[in-house]
């Protein structure tokens, strides 16, 4: 997820858009989707 977020930011995605995508991942995949999505915001 970190690599995907990096590519999204390079393409111009905002943090708000990435947060929205993480929320969608949680809705579809549950807690594992949230945990994977949080990797997008680790340094």
Specify whether the CB–CB gap between 2 and 39 falls below 8 A: yes
Residue 35 in this model has a pLDDT that exceeds 70: yes
Please tell me which residue, 42 or 36, carries the higher pLDDT value.
36
pLDDT at 36: 86
**Alpha carbon distance 15, 22 (integer Å):** 10
Residue 43 in this model has a pLDDT that exceeds 70: no
Specify whether the CB–CB gap between 25 and 17 falls below 8 A: no
Domain housing 26: 2-41
For residue 7, what are its two tokens?
């590519």
Average pLDDT, the chain: 89
> Average pLDDT of 1-27?
90
Structural domains counted in the chain:
1
> Average pLDDT of 19-42?
88
**Alpha carbon distance 19, 37 (integer Å):** 8
In the DSSP assignment, the letter for residue 14 is -
φ, ψ of residue 11 to 5 degrees: the values are -85, 0
């Amino acid at each position: 997820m970190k690599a995907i977020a990096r590519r999204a930011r390079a393409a111009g995605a905002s943090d708000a858009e990435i947060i929205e995508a993480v929320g969608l991942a949680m809705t579809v995949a549950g807690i594992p989707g949230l945990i994977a999505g949080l990797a997008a915001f680790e340094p």
